[in-house]
Amino acid sequence: MRSSQGLKAITEQLFAAYDGHDVDGMLALCADGAQGRYLPYGKKSDMPIRGGLEQIWRGLLGAVPDFGVEVVEMIQGEGNIVVVQALLGGAMPADVPGLVTKGKSDRIAHAYIIRYSAEGKIIRLDCYWDNTAINAIKASVL
């Protein structure tokens, strides 16, 4: 088992790579066969990180060129678990009254539960966010 400082350092590397649009760097921190889930996509959104979440990350970074990540808080959980609160986003494609302004860079709160192997590789990454805000943005574009 890695120390909490070691796991936090790896977690910081993950979000720094995300902020730097380095999906390959993110994948390098994941174990072979690592799984993930983005809960707002539904209860059955379990998928492999490679080829699954990876495609979501690449698509998002392609769609939002100024995408950025700000880690707000990182908490060492029980065992090899790190919980992260982060703000993610970039320039929004449309106005959503009360939420975002078209063209203005804005970020949406996300919560991550990241589980690590004893070797310090990510074996599971679960993410939650305010899907109401995302759906409002998508609906406003239509």
Tens digit of pLDDT per residue, the chain (142 long)? 567 679 999 999 999 999 999 999 999 999 999 999 987 566 777 999 999 999 989 988 887 888 899 999 999 999 999 999 999 988 766 665 655 666 666 778 899 999 999 999 999 999 998 766 555 545 444 4
Structure token digits, residue 49: 């990180």
Hey, which residues does 114 pair with through a beta bridge? 82, 125
119 Cβ contact partners less than 8 Å away, ≥ 6 residues apart: 31
| Whether 127 contacts 112, CB under 8 Å | yes
pLDDT of residue 110: 92
Among 33, 37, 137, 48, residue whose Cα is nearest residue 95: 137
Among 140, 86, 141, residue whose Cα is nearest residue 108: 86
pLDDT of residue 142: 40
In whole angstroms, give the CA distance from residue 109 to residue 113. Answer: 14
In whole angstroms, give the CA distance from residue 71 to residue 84. Answer: 7
- What distances in angstroms separate CA 47 from CA 3, 4, 52, 86, 125, one per listed residue? 28, 27, 6, 22, 10
